[in-house]
Amino acid sequence: MQFTIAHETTYRYAEPIHESYTICHLQPLSDLDQYCTRFELSVIPRTRVFSYADRFGNFVQHFSVIPEHPLLSIAARSTVVTARPQDPQAPSGAPRKALLADPQLRLLYDFLSPSPLVEFGRNLRALSDEIGEAESDVVAWYLCAGKYIKDNFAYIKRATTVHTTVDESVRLRAGVCQDFAHVLIALCRLNGIPARYVSGYIFSGQGDSVLGAEASHAWCEAYLPEIGWFGYDPTNGKIINEYFVKIAIGRDYRDVSPVRGVYKGLAKSTMSVNVAMDELYDVDRERALARAFAEQQQQQQQ
């Protein structure tokens, strides 16, 4: 599949502010499952944009606006080709002993430990007891835990905020995609399975009900023995397929928030976000490019 994505974030201030500094995670990743063929970032007021790769391999843009300004507008436009299956099948099972014997496990400390928004509190431990421990087949447990969240948590906007922790989400049994992803990540880590937060988008034109398609989306990737990183969306109860576009990975939302920043001034701000994701149908050439890119990546890894 090929998608074009427009993501616009606008901050309006009650009075002019100055010396604003902003960091963005808006550029899609290129890996074995997708290829970003185009990315543009424009800012009003006009300013110079810098970029770097962070320690998780994400593309990060940052900029500052020194003069006074009553408005800050950030517009990202991307074109991405995805090479995942449309209807992926669940992987075969894997015993816990295979995970414990995996030589990569020692390198995944960040994704096994608590993080600022993913804590191992009392409510989380009680939820883990409800689901059961991942003692034998860690693949089956991971998919079961994700489905449990889908079936037992309510998708309610404004029930939580971007600062809500896992224990509070579990207490409410409600939230949005960020909260559902955090809960599944926390369950995995509590049970000794490395897990990371993924920010991105999900295409809504799939012919069924899709939650979280009107804005940035989030899901979980768990590191499974002999499989590697495997994505599951507990908000929609789906294995990650060709309708998902990955932007960035991290320990939790704070590592990959789409836009964040600071400024000087006492004025309060209001923020509006608009996301449009459209499918392009003539994708034969782009699919070939994606396959060639995936083959090149595999050759480099060998």
68 in any annotated domain: yes
88 in any annotated domain: no
pLDDT computed for residue 280 by the predictor: 84
Q: What is the pLDDT of residues 13-54, one digit of tens each?
A: 999 999 999 999 999 999 999 999 999 999 999 999 999 999
90 in any annotated domain: no
Q: What is the pLDDT of residues 70-90, one digit of tens each?
A: 999 999 999 999 999 989 988
- Would you say residue 206 has pLDDT above 60? no
Which of 215, 241, 267 is a domain's end point?
Answer: 241
213 in any annotated domain: yes
181 in any annotated domain: yes
248 in any annotated domain: no
CB-based contact 167:74 (threshold 8 Å):
no
Q: What torsion do the CA atoms of 298, 39, 54, 212 make, to the nearest 10 degrees?
A: -90
Q: What is the pLDDT of residues 146-182, one digit of tens each?
A: 999 999 999 999 999 999 999 999 999 999 999 999 9
Provide mean pLDDT across the span 50-64.
97
pLDDT computed for residue 266 by the predictor: 86
CA distance 197 to 164: 15
Q: What is the pLDDT of residues 210-259, one digit of tens each?
A: 776 667 999 999 999 889 999 999 999 999 999 999 999 999 999 999 99
Q: 180: domain CATH number? A: 3.10.620.30
CA distance 234 to 231: 10
Residue 216: which domain range?
96-241
Three-state secondary-structure class, residue 27: coil
How many domains would you assign to the chain? 2
Q: 63: domain CATH number? A: 2.60.40.2250
209 in any annotated domain: yes
Q: How confident is the model at residue 281 (pLDDT cuts 50, 70, 90)?
A: low
| Residue 41 sits in the same domain as residue 112 | no
247 in any annotated domain: no
| Residue 20 sits in the same domain as residue 133 | no
* Residues above pLDDT 70, as percent of the chain: 91
| CB-facing half-sphere around the CA of 251: CA atoms within 13 A | 16
